[in-house]
Amino acid sequence: MFEGLTGRLGDIFDRLRRRGALSEEDVGAALREVRIALLEADVALPAVKAFVAGVKEKAVGQEVLRGINPGHMVIKIVHDHLVELLGETSEEINLSATPPVPVLMLGLQGSGKTTTSAKIALRLKTREKKKVLLASLDTRRPAAQEQLKVLADQVGVASLPIIPGQTPVQIARRAMETGRLEGFDVVMLDTAGRLAIDDELMAEVVEIRDATKPVESLLVVDAMTGQDAVTVATNFNERVGITGIVMTRIDGDARGGAALSMRYVTGKPIKLLGVGEKVDALESFHPDRIAGRILG
């Protein structure tokens, strides 16, 4: 991830660093190259525009260009704006509500939603000593509920017993009721995905949301899907309302632009990163570390 972008930016910044004095035109030329590098890495256009405009405004200030080492100063400004674009702070899952805290898991089919649900359950169990109940609301794919049960058993957390014939909303209500009666801290509701966004999916998810009032509605998006990830996030955010994002397949060789655009286009934080197929392959999202990785 980010290798192509890191290489391109590295070349641009090497040239900047080697120059003693910098004119406004030099900065303008370098930023035009940065703009192309970001677009080629699949970063969404509005995010690129805002980013480049922000850096430019800061970098053409007299103090910067007349400073001792203007190249380094410009690179520092790029770094700071990158951190800002990514969201500045690292945010964990919000569990500040009366238990059982409902956490709704959203996303397209194949995004890694079910795996991520199990990963988060394991994380909450081991790090925060939470008693977690996993429930699959996917009544469409015949094996989906069993798949979640297998994963729940693997990570050692409870899963809601499967009752054939219930609708997703009925399962969600039963999960919350079980959570209350059996003293669970967190109830994770893994909703059904689709291959693409459709009205039926959104209506179902809205109905589940209204029935359970989730404290977190986490959208799981596959980083490999590039610009499509932005469309998916915008849609879910506008139609359902999300509180955070989990990017999966960060371990793959995607160009990384989706991860860079998410915060800007949705205004919602990336909270976690999926970095592999194993149930413990989940990491916190640290904007400064990612910015550092991108800038090499």
Annotated binding site for GTP: 107-114, 190-194, 248-251
Q: Give the residue with the Cβ less far from ligand GDP, 31 or 144.
A: 144
- Angle value at C-alpha 24, between 21 and 25, nearest 5 degrees: 100
SS3 at position 267: coil
Q: DSSP for 174-200?
A: HHHHHHHHTT-SEEEEE----SS--HH
| Smallest distance, ligand GDP to C-beta of residue 192, A | 9
Least gap, CB of 32 to ligand GDP (angstroms): 34
Residue whose CB is less far from ligand GDP, 17 or 278: 278
To ligand GDP, the closest distance from the beta carbon of 119 in angstroms equals 8
Contacts (CB under 6 A) with ligand GDP, residues 102-131: 107, 109-115
What are the structure tokens assigned to 141, written together?
């794919």
Choosing from 193, 226, 256, 269, the residue that interacts with ligand GDP (CB under 6 A) is: 193
Tokens of 150: 């297998």
Does residue 228 interact with ligand GDP by CB under 6 A? no
- CA distance linking residue 140 with residue 276, whole number of Å: 26
Q: What part of residues 69-108 is at the interface with ligand GDP (CB under 6 A)?
A: 107
Total Cβ atoms within 10 A of residue 143: 10
Stretch in the footprint of ligand GDP (CB under 6 A) among 58-66, 231-239, 248-256, 262-270: 248-256
Do residues 103 and 186 make contact, with C-beta atoms less than 8 angstroms apart?
yes
Query: Cβ closer to ligand GDP: 55 or 247?
Result: 247
Sign of the Cα torsion 63, 66, 68, 72 reads positive
Phi and psi torsions of 128, nearest 5°: -115, 5
Which residues ranging from 267 to 286 are in contact with ligand GDP (CB under 6 A)?
274-277, 281
Residues that bind ligand GDP (CB under 6 A): 107, 109-115, 193, 248-249, 251-252, 274-277, 281
